[in-house]
Chain A
């Protein structure tokens, strides 16, 4: 076997062995990446939610990832091994739980549905009474809406005035 071919093979095997990577996705709104596992070490880059990253190793609360000019460090709770899901997709689920009769409504027979709904209401009522569950107030809590624009404006105002107090 020619020596050059052998050297190429060795290099091809050495590189992946040393820098084996795993996929990570940014799951928070943003994920700052630092030079070292230390926020005082300097911010290298900030990735947006959904960005796919290449993890190299994890250390405590940090993941080392590949960046353009080498490696950087990101907090583990800002990333995950699956692409981020969307909370809005679960709104339908919550709405379903809000209505005791929701499951019964899906049934084809309206007679069965009505009977099942009554049964479910009774069961849920007994369950709520027995364990003192206050769903009515919970729905008030869930009804508080914060729009993305309002939240962003609140955060921006906080950043601008952070050091004024």
Chain B
């Protein structure tokens, strides 16, 4: 009888050991899937240097708004939200582009641009924070970096970039130039993948809500932009998700995550003070 009990207990222990290993494996799997954000310093350097070139490309297409006060204020709002971006290794820069169209851009490495036209359509700081958070989320989730496989390893595009700065082969330079053109095409013409756009919406809302803003900011702004279409259709492009899909996703995100606090935290007064003095 005693022997039988010991056998049963042995089997039980063996089964538990197996389960334990499986769980531990699962934990490791979750962990490795968790942080694809950066692999090493060279990847981070590649992200920043490529983003810097792309930001220079954006500024080559647009004029910077000549208003120190407005640019400073947008930097304050953007950096207040970016504190919750989970990318403390990046220094975020925000700037207003002097263009009447309603648009916003993000370049890897922490560069965010918004047009004067977009600011003109906004009613409060929560809407500005919502749009900036959406752009920050494109950076934190590395949408362009992943799509173009920007990495610091020797056989990557950005090794080409590093070599371009230090003197590279023509092939590497062409590869980099091609990547820069593709990134510019994503920003100016074809847009992000739909799933990336929706992910930026979700994370952007959560980010601005954690930073203390009304979670309705982005939704209210997008509703307003929708109202202005098709006259001002430059905000969207053919691959942007339809507004309805985005608005529904935002509603779901607010509901699922219980974002019922700070609904009135729009900071309208401060926004008007800086943007519409």
- List A residues at the B interface (Cβ < 8 Å): 1, 6, 9-10, 13-14, 16-18, 20-24, 27-30, 32, 36-41, 49, 55, 57-58, 60-61, 75-82, 84-91, 93-94, 97, 100, 102-104, 116, 119-120, 123-124, 127-128, 130-135, 137-138, 140-142, 144, 146, 150-151, 154-155, 157-159, 161-165
Cβ contact within 8 Å between B23 and A17: yes
- Residue of A whose beta carbon sits closest to that of B88: A84
* Inter-chain contacts of B49 with A (CB < 8 A): 93, 97
Residues of chain A lying within 8 A (CB to CB) of residue B164: 123, 127
Within B57-94, which residues are at the interface with A (CB < 8 Å)? 57, 59-61, 64, 71-72, 75-76, 79-80, 83-91, 93-94
17 contacts between A and B (CB under 8 A): A9-B13, A14-B16, A23-B31, A40-B261, A61-B202, A61-B203, A75-B206, A80-B86, A82-B35, A86-B89, A87-B91, A91-B91, A134-B59, A134-B60, A140-B64, A141-B95, A151-B83
Query: Is there contact, CB below 8 Å, between B256 and A131?
Result: no
Determine how close the nearest CB of chain B comes to the CB of A158; give it in whole angstroms: 6
Contact check, B256 vs A165: say whether CB atoms are below 8 A apart.
Answer: no
Which listed residue, A21, A90, A120, A150, touches B166 by the CB 8 Å rule? A120
Q: Does B249 contact A (CB under 8 A)?
A: no
**From A87, which residue of chain B is reached at the shortest CB distance?**
B91
With beta carbons under 8 angstroms apart, the residue of B17, B206, B264 that contacts A77 is B206
Q: Determine the distance from Cα of A154 to Cα of B207 in the docked complex, in whole angstroms.
A: 17
Q: Is the CB of B165 within 8 A of A120?
A: yes
Q: Which 6 A-B pairs have the closest CB atoms?
A: A40-B258, A38-B258, A132-B60, A85-B89, A133-B56, A162-B265
B26 CB, min distance to chain A CBs, angstroms: 7
CB distance from B116 to the nearest CB of A (A): 15
Does B111 make an interface contact (CB < 8 A)?
A: yes
Q: With A84-B88, A158-B270, A162-B265 given, can you name 4 additional A-B contacts, CB distance below 8 Å? A: A28-B86, A81-B34, A85-B44, A158-B125
With A1-B9, A138-B56 as given contacts, are A78 and B210 in contact (CB-CB < 8 Å)?
A: yes
State whether B13 touches A10 (Cβ < 8 A).
Answer: yes
Cβ of B124 < 8 Å from any Cβ of A?
yes
Residues on B close to A: CB < 8 A? Answer: 6, 9, 12-13, 16-17, 19-20, 23-24, 26-28, 30-31, 34-35, 37-38, 44-45, 48-49, 52-53, 55-57, 59-61, 64, 71-72, 75-76, 79-80, 83-91, 93-95, 111, 124-125, 137, 140, 164-167, 173, 177, 180-181, 184, 202-203, 206-207, 209-212, 256-262, 264-270
A22 touches B269 (CB 8 A): no
Q: A155 contacts B212, CB within 8 Å?
A: yes
A/B pair count, beta carbons within 8 Å:
230
Chain A residues with CB under 8 A of B83: 28-30, 151, 155
Does A40 contact B64, Cβ atoms closer than 8 Å? no
B87 partner residues in chain A, CB cutoff 8 A: 27
Which residues of the partner chain B approach A55 to less than 8 Å between Cβ atoms?
30-31
Would B24 and A20 count as touching, CB distance under 8 A? yes
Q: A165's contact among B30, B177, B269, by CB below 8 Å, is which? A: B269
Partner of B90, one of A58, A87, A155, A157: A87
Chain B residue with minimal CB distance to A28?
A: B84
Q: Does A84 contact B89, Cβ atoms closer than 8 Å?
A: yes
Q: What is the CA–CA distance of A66 and B165 in the complex, to the nearest angstrom?
A: 46
B75 and A146 within 8 A (CB)? yes
CB distance from B263 to the nearest CB of A (A): 10
Give complex CA distance A57, B17 in Å: 20
Of A17, A82, A87, A154, which one neighbours B16 at CB under 8 angstroms? A17
The CA-CA distance from A150 to B209 in the complex, in Å, is 21
Task: Quote the shortest CB–CB distance from B126 to chain A (angstroms).
Answer: 9
